[in-house]
Structure 1
Amino acid sequence: MPRFAANLTFLFTEVPFLDRFERAARAGFTAVEFLFPYAWPAAEIKARLDACGLQLVLHNLPAGDWDAGDRGLACHPGRHEAFRASVATGICYAQVLGVSQLNCLAGKAPAGVNEALVHQTLVENLRYCAGEFKAAGLKMLLEPINHFDMPGFVVNHTAQAVAILDELGADNAFVQYDIYHAQRMEGELAATLQRHLARIGHMQLADNPGRHEPGTGEINFAYLFKHLDHIGYSGWIGCEYHPLAQTEAGLGWLQNPR
């Protein structure tokens, strides 16, 4: 059966971030993920993980100035130094927190920049990131994100992400497959998962429409979970959804995921 991790950026949001670890453990989760840890000292987050007996399975590299519209730096010509600094920061946090993989957000295409240059910059930065991660014993993930929720994001489809990874040729680089984003962009979830299983390092879920918990929308999660068992997916699935109500009230699906 798939293993599920609570995404603390999305779940238990009625309490401060550092209090969400205990809530996740009390709800029955044994692992967590989140977008960005950088507003808190790594040692403080590690203490919360250890006190609650939780494993951290994922966080993102710094994505630039989120409030100003940045959604990752990897595709931005002229921001190589900022990107490399973000890689160093991400590695430092990963080594304290004990996580084995980080998501490198590709970013939104900067206005007025040639598409070929954006792609070249993305590949060069991802190659650098994968090399630094390999030296640190980490996996690098690349996530396609739907262009309805995040207009301008440069990686939108699974096949596109796989092609970029093929161009890199790095054996520690994988796709982060988010079921919600994939459903919005391409559908064909079961067939795509089977076709690209060897390239997928991590998964996330939310139902569609609404990006709420499984069972609230059109996706047949019971079928997908059985399918993942059948094709042999052994990684974690991050629960990256907006609960319709309090998080615990919507966890019935987790008690009987199939």
Structure 2
Amino acid sequence: MERRKFLQQSTLAGLSTLAAGSAAAATHHSFNEKEKEQAGKTFNLNYAPHDGMFKNSGGDSFLDQIQFMYDQGFRSIEDNGMMKRDTAEQEKIGKLLSKLGMQMGVFVIDAGDNWKVSLTSGKQEFKDAFVKECKRALETAKRVNAKWATVVPGYFERNLPIGVQTAHVIEAFRAGAGVLEKEGLVMVMEPLSDNPDLFLRTAEQSYGICKAVNSPSCKILYDIYHMQRNTGNLIPVMDMCWDEIAYIQIGDNPGRKEPTSGEINYKNIFKHLHKKGFKGILGMEHGNANPGKEGEQALIKAYRESDDFL
């Protein structure tokens, strides 16, 4: 599932009242006895579902889904398309999160089509658009109490040497970080595997850029799905880049679905993160392996199993 599909999905959810959220969560779903016993318990790590992941169990409204997520023990959400939601919707989401004591994970700072509008080119118009969106992101972050926002530098500029492209990205990220530092918002750059034209592809590459930008508002988003596809060696590379990693995302490979659906041993990874004392959010940026309510129940079960590492 590509990022743009997540962004499209994020804009489709409607809103309902907060009271309706509780009712929907109570009436749309049923578990077996073991799952009922676990349902209200929090997890050992802080996993964050996204809009649409529990629409069959919680309802079409994102607010209803958030209430359902809370009732199942999740304590964070993430929403790539938050900046595309209107102000009133953002404020309602922020109020519900505050009421439930939940955290907001990442949203995407999207300067147009930020896959193809590439910061690697060094063109001033792209840099200006990026800085402008960083300023707008601050307002979104305030409404939902967000601490992190995803950025990607875009495509390779194939008529420029790699070192020059890297310098252009560093320059643009320094400018963006200068804006975000004022309000404590952290942009997390995400190396991706979606296609070979993307400039930022590894955690090590991102690590070097973070060191060059040298800002508390410029860190790494370590997406385990993408890193398995691009490099593997997940835990050692994570450890090497640890001091610049601020956010982690989840997705099994192949298929980009929940843990236990593919080849990645997520129980070992979660155990490693717990031992390291990771207190941040792990965004569930993946699809459901199976459809309907049954698929959503299976997804929760997979997280319960993978989180059972103590």
**Contact 1:77/1:121, CA 8 A, preserved across alignment:** yes
CA distance in 2, matches of 1:157, 1:119: 13
Q: Which runs of 5+ in 1 are unaligned?
A: none
Report the alpha carbon displacement of residue 72 of structure 1 after superposing the two structures with TM: 6.1
Matched, 1:255 2:304: yes
Q: After alignment, is 99-108 or 199-208 more displaced?
A: 99-108
Task: Give TM-score, length-normalised by structure 1.
Answer: 0.88
**Counterpart among 54, 58, 83 of residue 12 in structure 1:** 54
1:65 is aligned to 113
Change (3 A) 1:74 1:13: farther
- Once the two structures are superposed, residues 46-88 of structure 1 have per-residue CA deviations (whole angstroms, 9 ceiling, x without a partner) of 313423523212111014137xxx3665334322221121111
Letter in 2 for 1:255: R
3-state DSSP of counterpart to 1:38: helix
Larger helix share, 1 or 2: 2
Higher normalized contact order (CA 8 Å, seq sep 6+, divided by chain length): 1
CA distance in 2, matches of 1:18, 1:51: 7
Q: After alignment, is 72-81 or 118-127 more displaced?
A: 72-81
- Following TM superposition, the consecutive aligned residue runs of length 4 or more in structure 1 with deviations greater than 6 angstroms are none
**Counterpart among 227, 232, 235 of residue 272 in structure 2:** 227
Q: How many aligned positions are there? A: 252
CA distance in 2, matches of 1:226, 1:198: 18
1:107 is aligned to 154
**Counterpart among 167, 170, 184 of residue 123 in structure 1:** 170
Larger strand share, 1 or 2: 1
**Contact 2:147/2:185, CA 8 A, preserved across alignment:** yes
- Once the two structures are superposed, residues 177-202 of structure 1 have per-residue CA deviations (whole angstroms, 9 ceiling, x without a partner) of 01111111111111122222221100
Task: Give TM-score, length-normalised by structure 2.
Answer: 0.74
Q: Which runs of 5+ in 2 are unaligned?
A: 1-43
CA distance in 1, matches of 2:81, 2:128: 20
1:218 is aligned to 263
Matched, 1:96 2:143: yes
1:170 is aligned to 215
2:206 is aligned to 161
CA-atom RMSD in angstroms: 2.3
